[in-house]
Chains A and B, each alone.
Chain A
Amino acid sequence: MTGTLTGTGTLIRLILRRDRVLLPVWIAITALLPASIASATTGLYPTQAARDSFAAASAANPAQLAMRGPIYDASVGGLTAWTLGSSLALIGGLVSILLVIRHTRAEEETGRRELLASGVIGRHAPLAAALTVVLAANLLHGLLSVPALVAGGLPAGSSLLFGLSTSAGGWAFAAVAAVTGQLTASSGTARGIAIAVGGLLFALRSLADTGGVGWLAWLTPFGWVRLTRPYAGDQWWVLGLIAVFAAALVAAAFALSTRRDVAGGLIPSRPGPAEGTLPGAFGLAARLHCGTLAGFAIGFGALGALLGVAARGLHTQLDTPQFRELAATLGGADARLSDVFFTFVMYVLSQLVAGAALVSALRARAEEAAGRAELLLSTPVGRLRWALSHLVFAVMSPVLLLTVLGAVAGLTFNGDVARVAGATLAYLPAVWTVAGIATLLVGLLPRLAAAVSWTALGLFLVVDLLAEFKLATGIILDLSPFVHVPAMLLGGAASPAAPLLGLTVVAVTLTAAGLAFLRRRDLMPSA
């Protein structure tokens, strides 16, 4: 058995070499966020009275409850832990899933693992190396966040617990990905299953905190990372739950990996048709996009149902003076609570839809980088037709996803499908703008397109966070296309044409420029 881990050290060095930029950037940003949010909280709410009233307002806001859960303590530390607990677990979880799959299943799928396995590399070494790096990186950002928190005047013990709680989210999902990486031969499917599991576990936590079924939070890592209660009673033993969860999944992953072949999956690959009926480039694109798109549609449908149900209880459960006040500031004195709720939530979720649109918009580049476009473009399929076959999905997938999200939310709320779906669809031009940025980059800077597009979307999300803490105003805020979308449910419907038309023009211009650049440049496979 000792031989199965041979070569782990070599593989760890390989992973560190391949991710020498990504890992430090992720660790640094994640480690710096807690102290900056803590200092922003101190600055914005200097007195206990101010913090109490902020906490009361937030506790009354179902959107905040759904995203972040309850506030356990209205101290600076308690508010910081509340602001970041869930988001850092979400980010850490997502990055960990992507990294583990990238260094395990994706390596096998491309055949690079085979090359290594023929050397002195034990059967378990690749998984052990990937997990070591990802678990250590998560631990590192958690620990690194502590000194700055302590320097800012927060108690050392609670700060360490908070740091470790932020690490724990990554650990849990690294372990989930370790298992899903054993199931199928496709890295895309393995990634998809892990992210879907993450989404379900997050939804479970949201439901626990908005639906009055608090015990559900004890069933999900997204609940546990908050239930450690840093700065609010410090329940250290909850970390043990996460450790057991992660250890059990990791053990399962190693056990599963001994029961399959290299490059094979536990779910065997079935033979398919011997003859094809794909009618050219568009047929091929439809085949390539539809699986992912169906997955996204189901996910957003489930989210919409959750929101609709949550919004139903608002009038009875959350009709507090604080929330009324919030609603009045946002939408005027007669704004309906549910409208404020939907406006909040759709603003955030539309950026998730933009993520789905990015996947489609970057697909053409992915095909090019993998060398598959080369073969197709040697046939009479022209450059433009090929690009359009993928662009159609970048344009249409947000239409589908926003409609599903809004329609299901409206249906489960009060049956008012058109109104909620209409408000959700108002984000379409903003999402198209994000897809337009990606299309422009695919034409102009193909090798950097994926990295820069995702960073841009990440920055738009950061702008939201900064805006919420009033750290960003004016021009910086204007940079995000989402900021310009009128709140259709809160009086924005009066004159929505100008901003929506403006964004659409921007999106079309970006897209057209991207296509023009693509037609003029050389094809650049990554090899």
Chain B
Amino acid sequence: MNAAVRARGLVKSFGRTRALDGLDLTVKTGEVHGFLGPNGAGKTTTIRILLGQMRADGGEVALLGGDPWQDATDLHRRLAYVPGDVNLWPSLTGGEVIDLLGRARGGLDPKRRAELLERFELDPRKKCRTYSKGNRQKVALVAAFASDVELLILDEPTSGLDPLMEATFNECVLREKRDGRTVLLSSHILSEVETLCDRVSIVRAGRTVESGSLADLRHLTRTSVTAELIGSAPGLAALPGVHDLSVDGARLRCQVDGDALTAVLAELARAGVRTLTTRPPTLEELFLRHYEGAAR
């Protein structure tokens, strides 16, 4: 058993809306897994099913080797969760909430707690009523990172944090990874996923559209080519696998499918190359490709 999360063909409907439509997700033990998709793609619904707060209408799901609905209480001893929209008890202080959640999860490391409070610059004596969204998120993050658990489920955890705190958050996630913990990180912030994650799953409209390591996904996608030519390359437009070609005098830009790169480079070499830049697509570009598909 080396998968922390294994979901196959998850289906969940709310009335007529089909929130999940055959979603697959596999998170290997010890990896940081990015769960990418725009708002409404089904990320939070999937997480609620993993937490046993909702039951899937169809499909199979296993969490840490158990059934997330049947074995919820036992499984929850081994995980910590940070919701996307953290709602806390207005009359309790941040410190009280951290300890409440920590105790419920079987105790937390006081040294680590103090260290995290300092790093996130959170005042634990304030009532939750007075916290901003970012500060409420920090309360849940401190409680999660200070707990001794195998799996962290983080639902868009940085949406209220400023850039400095995002850096702190990234360090914390990398430390969890070093300690051998598994992290499921849902996000629509691509740079975050790029720096932190070993593998990603991209979801759209309740389905997984891509899943694999970043290297795998890039292999599937186009490379962005920018070149300054000496001669001209008239044959380029006719090559299969060349997209969005634009020529501006000697400058040329295009997107190239992975398996067409050799032919394209040969064509460019024939024309003579002064400068050449090739760049792997950013996740933005990956995203655009998938969601353009959805719009069509």
Nearest Cβ on chain B to A220's Cβ, whole angstroms: 31
Q: Is B40 an interface residue (CB 8 A)?
A: no
Contact partners of B85 in chain A: CB under 8 A: 371, 527
- The reply to whether B127 and A278 form a contact with Cβ atoms under 8 Å apart is no
Nearest Cβ on chain A to B75's Cβ, whole angstroms: 9
Pick from A186, A273, A280, A371: contact of B103, CB under 8 Å: A280
- The reply to whether B86 and A375 form a contact with Cβ atoms under 8 Å apart is yes
Contact partners of B95 in chain A: CB under 8 A: 272-276
Q: Is B92 an interface residue (CB 8 A)?
A: yes
Q: Is B188 an interface residue (CB 8 A)?
A: no
- The reply to whether A186 and B91 form a contact with Cβ atoms under 8 Å apart is yes
Taken together as a complex, chains A and B put the C-alpha atoms of A523 and B81 apart, in Å, by 16
Q: Is A473 an interface residue (CB 8 A)?
A: no
Pick from B89, B96, B101, B129: contact of A379, CB under 8 Å: B101
Chain A 265-297 interface mask (CB, 8 Å, partner B; 1/0): 000010111111111110110011001000000
Pick from A109, A275, A381, A383: contact of B104, CB under 8 Å: A381
Taken together as a complex, chains A and B put the C-alpha atoms of A276 and B142 apart, in Å, by 14
Pick from A186, A273, A287: contact of B129, CB under 8 Å: A186
Chain A residue at minimum C-beta to C-beta distance from B78: A380
Chain B 74-112 interface residues, beta-carbon cutoff 8 Å to A: 74, 76-77, 79-81, 83, 85-93, 95-101, 103-106
Binds A, one of B51-59, B251-259, B271-279: B51-59
Q: Is B218 an interface residue (CB 8 A)?
A: no
Taken together as a complex, chains A and B put the C-alpha atoms of A376 and B101 apart, in Å, by 7
Taken together as a complex, chains A and B put the C-alpha atoms of A382 and B93 apart, in Å, by 24
Check A522/B89 contact, CB under 8 A, given A273-B125, A276-B95, A276-B100.
no
Q: Is B246 an interface residue (CB 8 A)?
A: no
Q: Is B126 an interface residue (CB 8 A)?
A: yes
Taken together as a complex, chains A and B put the C-alpha atoms of A436 and B233 apart, in Å, by 80
Pick from B72, B88, B91, B125: contact of A287, CB under 8 Å: B91
Contact partners of B98 in chain A: CB under 8 A: 276
- The reply to whether B105 and A276 form a contact with Cβ atoms under 8 Å apart is no
- The reply to whether A186 and B90 form a contact with Cβ atoms under 8 Å apart is yes
Nearest Cβ on chain B to A114's Cβ, whole angstroms: 10
- The reply to whether B92 and A274 form a contact with Cβ atoms under 8 Å apart is no
- The reply to whether B83 and A374 form a contact with Cβ atoms under 8 Å apart is yes
- The reply to whether A379 and B125 form a contact with Cβ atoms under 8 Å apart is no
Contact partners of A274 in chain B: CB under 8 A: 93, 95, 124-125
Taken together as a complex, chains A and B put the C-alpha atoms of A456 and B74 apart, in Å, by 39
Q: Is A185 an interface residue (CB 8 A)?
A: yes
Pick from A275, A287, A288, A522: contact of B54, CB under 8 Å: A522
Nearest Cβ on chain B to A226's Cβ, whole angstroms: 39
Taken together as a complex, chains A and B put the C-alpha atoms of A280 and B123 apart, in Å, by 22
Taken together as a complex, chains A and B put the C-alpha atoms of A287 and B48 apart, in Å, by 27
Q: Is A2 an interface residue (CB 8 A)?
A: no
Check A185/B99 contact, CB under 8 A, given A380-B77, A522-B54, A522-B55.
no
Q: Is A329 an interface residue (CB 8 A)?
A: no
- The reply to whether B73 and A382 form a contact with Cβ atoms under 8 Å apart is yes
Nearest Cβ on chain B to A324's Cβ, whole angstroms: 52
Contact partners of A117 in chain B: CB under 8 A: none
Check A375/B140 contact, CB under 8 A, given A280-B104, A380-B73, A523-B53.
yes
Q: Is B130 an interface residue (CB 8 A)?
A: yes
How many pairs of residues, A versus B, come closer than 8 Å at their CB atoms?
Answer: 119
Contact partners of B125 in chain A: CB under 8 A: 271-274
Contact partners of B103 in chain A: CB under 8 A: 278-280
- The reply to whether A276 and B81 form a contact with Cβ atoms under 8 Å apart is no
Contact partners of B106 in chain A: CB under 8 A: 380
Nearest Cβ on chain B to A527's Cβ, whole angstroms: 7
Pick from B87, B89, B90, B123: contact of A284, CB under 8 Å: B89
Check A284/B93 contact, CB under 8 A, given A185-B130, A377-B51, A522-B54.
no
Contact partners of B124 in chain A: CB under 8 A: 274-275
Chain B residue at minimum C-beta to C-beta distance from A283: B100
Q: Is A372 an interface residue (CB 8 A)?
A: yes
Taken together as a complex, chains A and B put the C-alpha atoms of A439 and B129 apart, in Å, by 28
- The reply to whether A272 and B87 form a contact with Cβ atoms under 8 Å apart is no
Chain B residue at minimum C-beta to C-beta distance from A385: B73
Contact partners of B73 in chain A: CB under 8 A: 380-382
Contact partners of A275 in chain B: CB under 8 A: 95-96, 99, 124
Chain B residue at minimum C-beta to C-beta distance from A187: B90
Taken together as a complex, chains A and B put the C-alpha atoms of A185 and B131 apart, in Å, by 12
Chain A residue at minimum C-beta to C-beta distance from B94: A274
Q: Is A493 an interface residue (CB 8 A)?
A: no
Contact partners of B86 in chain A: CB under 8 A: 375
Contact partners of B133 in chain A: CB under 8 A: 111
- The reply to whether B105 and A379 form a contact with Cβ atoms under 8 Å apart is yes
Chain A 114-173 interface residues, beta-carbon cutoff 8 Å to B: none
- The reply to whether A372 and B92 form a contact with Cβ atoms under 8 Å apart is no
- The reply to whether A523 and B129 form a contact with Cβ atoms under 8 Å apart is no
Contact partners of A185 in chain B: CB under 8 A: 129-130
Chain B residue at minimum C-beta to C-beta distance from A271: B125
Check A276/B104 contact, CB under 8 A, given A185-B129, A371-B85, A375-B86.
no
Taken together as a complex, chains A and B put the C-alpha atoms of A452 and B101 apart, in Å, by 33
- The reply to whether B100 and A377 form a contact with Cβ atoms under 8 Å apart is no
- The reply to whether A375 and B72 form a contact with Cβ atoms under 8 Å apart is no
Nearest Cβ on chain A to B258's Cβ, whole angstroms: 41
Nearest Cβ on chain A to B124's Cβ, whole angstroms: 4
Q: Is A495 an interface residue (CB 8 A)?
A: no
Taken together as a complex, chains A and B put the C-alpha atoms of A434 and B287 apart, in Å, by 53
Check A380/B104 contact, CB under 8 A, given A273-B95, A274-B95, A523-B48.
yes
Chain B 31-49 interface mask (CB, 8 Å, partner A; 1/0): 0000000000000000010
Contact partners of A276 in chain B: CB under 8 A: 92-93, 95-100
Contact partners of B80 in chain A: CB under 8 A: 378
Nearest Cβ on chain A to B6's Cβ, whole angstroms: 19
Taken together as a complex, chains A and B put the C-alpha atoms of A379 and B97 apart, in Å, by 12
Taken together as a complex, chains A and B put the C-alpha atoms of A281 and B100 apart, in Å, by 8
Taken together as a complex, chains A and B put the C-alpha atoms of A284 and B133 apart, in Å, by 22
Taken together as a complex, chains A and B put the C-alpha atoms of A372 and B90 apart, in Å, by 10
Contact partners of A111 in chain B: CB under 8 A: 133
- The reply to whether B140 and A379 form a contact with Cβ atoms under 8 Å apart is no
Nearest Cβ on chain B to A232's Cβ, whole angstroms: 48
Taken together as a complex, chains A and B put the C-alpha atoms of A523 and B97 apart, in Å, by 21
Taken together as a complex, chains A and B put the C-alpha atoms of A276 and B92 apart, in Å, by 9
Q: Is A451 an interface residue (CB 8 A)?
A: no
18 contacts between A and B (CB under 8 A): A186-B90, A269-B129, A273-B95, A274-B124, A275-B99, A276-B98, A277-B99, A281-B104, A291-B91, A370-B87, A372-B88, A377-B51, A379-B76, A379-B105, A380-B73, A380-B104, A381-B104, A522-B53
Given contacts A273-B125, A275-B96, A379-B76, 6 further A-B contacts (CB under 8 A): A186-B90, A275-B95, A276-B92, A377-B72, A382-B73, A383-B72
Closest 6 CB pairs of A and B: A276-B96, A276-B99, A379-B104, A378-B81, A371-B87, A272-B93
Residues of B within 8 A of A (CB): 48, 51, 53-55, 72-74, 76-77, 79-81, 83, 85-93, 95-101, 103-106, 123-127, 129-130, 133, 140, 153
